Structure 1
Amino acid sequence: MKTFSVILVFCFALSCMGFTKKISSNEKLDFIEIQNHKRTYIVHYPKKWDGSPIALLVALHGRFGSGSSMIKQTKFDVLSDTKGFIVVFPDGFKRSWADGRGNTPADENQINDVVFIESIVKRLIAEGSVNSKEVFLVGHSNGGFMAQRLAVEKPELWKGVVSVAAQLSVSTLKKKLNLKTKPVSIGIIAGTGDPLVPYSGGYVRDGGEILSVEDSINRWKEWNSCSDVVTKKYENYNEDNSEIKIDFFRYESCSENTQVGLIQLNGLGHSWPGETPMIPFINQGKTTKVIDGSKLVWDFMEAL
């Protein structure tokens, strides 16, 4: 009986997380066959779109998520309608990505998510809806580690990449050291109080050693041949009689007009900024309702 109750609670949680979504008239559910798996994704086209090639944002969900839950979590579909870009929400393999750290179902089954994501981007460019020079990538948590991997292995695809609650993993670092790749603009959004992905680096609960946020930024500065000249900005928010401070650091003097940026969320945890945690039974640290994480992401992209 106890086991049945746990299953009911888990199923209810998945339902609340938005794993299913009614597809609207300006969206499509599509798929690609890779490694004998049907890999699905949702494409959201802006409501006021004339059909000409425009910017694309690929948004990767976190562990236990889905494309549908990423829509609910980030509301990038709403921002897409306002700003006029296409956004695609892929589904991970068994709600996970093969980000290289080794312990997700996707990694354990040797799923080639690099090819999956690359195939989606190339398909959308080929259909004529996407400007190939305006392709962006963002990921949260497991999706953020996947975004870092894609930035290292396929930098030519992206104008900009942002990882939220994720930085460089040791596995991705090792791959980079064996690759000669072009620079790519990188942003990291990280909470200093993240209990799942330590800001100071170390080991993540779902496996794998990671660099600190500071070391990750320094690595990207080195790879992008950035100078030490940094633009700094600070914002303060009041919430529940307490202050939340955001520190912005941006290195803009890098090779091939790339940039490296850090958005440091002081005291905040692992969840997407501005939204209720999608997995309520896991402690993700301090949350906030007054910061819009999706706006922070797109502001970074628009400035590139």
Structure 2
Amino acid sequence: MRIFLFILFLNFHSCFGYFYRPSSNEKIDNFNFSNVKRTYLVHYPKKWDGLPIPMLVALHGRFGTGVTMSKQTKLNDIADQKGFIVLYPDGYKRSWADGRGNSPADEDGINDVLFIESIVKRMVAEGSVNSKEVFLVGHSNGGFMAQRMAIEKPELWKGVMSVAAQISVSQLKSKIHFKTKPVSVAIMAGTEDPLVPYSGGYVKDGKEVLSVSDSILRWKEWNGCEDTVKRKSNQVEENGFKINIEFYRYEDCSNNKKVELIQLNGLGHSWPGETPMLPFINQGRTTKVVNGSAMVWEFMESLK
């Protein structure tokens, strides 16, 4: 019965994406990539003069879509307030080839690094995006993909953040094949994530990942950061449970880059602030009072 409900849920959201009608300041576009039709949703801010502006690429998690990512995160609301574009690509068979080797995209040899790079270049070419202000965020499988993009294509991004994902062992091994170029990176993670362990080890799909702390130290090393760290914390209460959010930011890095850890004590795998899109999978404690999307853009805005 549980499997049936899960399949029904996926089919519902597939239809939801298929019948989604973009607003007047949105578009759904596609192009043929490696003989596969790849699609993406673009949200332009409501008050926009048509000149090149910043863009945030947002990668959904496993089983998600660009449309569900937009509904899950409500990044569009922040984009309208702050004046940036949000682009939501659709993964191949609801997945990204993040390099761990176990997703449908990885198994079928999809080059999602080139696909995402191609989307960015298309948006810059159309004249709507400032190429020096392109940002990337991903959740879960999309978060691992964001880590891969930061490692393999650091020159594309002004800032990259992973939510509920860190560096995988396979990504760490691949790093020696790519030139080290500083790029600002942040990781937002719940300490009680039941799917991607905060302390590292094996995730539910059997692939090994570094701990969140070790991942931050790797980026600190790759970005040539000093040991000086700025710390702050914020505590909120929800239904009698105290959520302590700790921020650790390294700002003294090469080329004015930054590395930040946003540690969500007691929280799980879900995007902070929104209803989980996979209610039949235990993702740990969720929250409605922590605005993950606002913290994503706060980091991006802090970058020089």
Q: Give the TM-score normalised by structure 2.
A: 0.96
* CA contact 1:153–1:181 (8 Å) conserved in 2: no
1:11 deviates by: 2.1
Counterpart secondary structure, 1:222: helix
* CA contact 1:195–1:270 (8 Å) conserved in 2: yes
CA distance in 2, matches of 1:263, 1:123: 32
Q: Residue 12 of structure 2: which of 6, 10, 15 is its match? A: 15
CA distance in 2, matches of 1:213, 1:8: 33
- Matching of residues 1-304 of structure 1 within 5 Å: 6-7=3-4, 10-15=7-12, 18-20=16-18, 21-304=20-303
1:178 deviates by: 2.3
Higher mean C-alpha displacement, 5-14 vs 74-83: 5-14
Equivalent pairs, count: 301
Counterpart secondary structure, 1:175: helix
Counterpart secondary structure, 2:263: strand
Counterpart secondary structure, 2:39: strand
1:130-166: CA deviation from partner (whole Å, max 9, x where unpaired): 0011000000000000000000000000000000000
Higher mean C-alpha displacement, 103-112 vs 26-35: 26-35
1:32-83: CA deviation from partner (whole Å, max 9, x where unpaired): 2111100000011001000000000000000000000001100111111111
Amino acid across the alignment from 2:225: C
* CA contact 1:168–1:211 (8 Å) conserved in 2: yes
Counterpart secondary structure, 1:19: helix
Counterpart secondary structure, 1:122: helix
1:177 deviates by: 2.0
Amino acid across the alignment from 1:230: V
1:299 deviates by: 0.4
Change (3 A) 1:193 1:9: closer
* CA contact 1:104–1:206 (8 Å) conserved in 2: no
Q: Give the TM-score normalised by structure 1.
A: 0.96
Amino acid across the alignment from 1:67: G
CA distance in 1, matches of 2:167, 2:22: 34
1:76-110: CA deviation from partner (whole Å, max 9, x where unpaired): 11111111000100000000000000110000000
* CA contact 2:192–2:198 (8 Å) conserved in 1: yes
Structure 1: runs of 5+ lacking an equivalent: none
* CA contact 1:102–1:207 (8 Å) conserved in 2: no
Identity across matched positions, percent? 68
1:13 deviates by: 5.0
Higher mean C-alpha displacement, 97-106 vs 27-36: 27-36
CA distance in 2, matches of 1:270, 1:213: 13
CA distance in 2, matches of 1:86, 1:216: 29
CA distance in 2, matches of 1:71, 1:205: 25
Amino acid across the alignment from 1:120: I
* CA contact 1:63–1:97 (8 Å) conserved in 2: yes
CA distance in 2, matches of 1:207, 1:179: 26
1:7 deviates by: 4.0
1:10 deviates by: 2.3
Amino acid across the alignment from 2:256: N
Amino acid across the alignment from 1:105: P
CA distance in 1, matches of 2:32, 2:243: 45
CA distance in 1, matches of 2:150, 2:6: 37
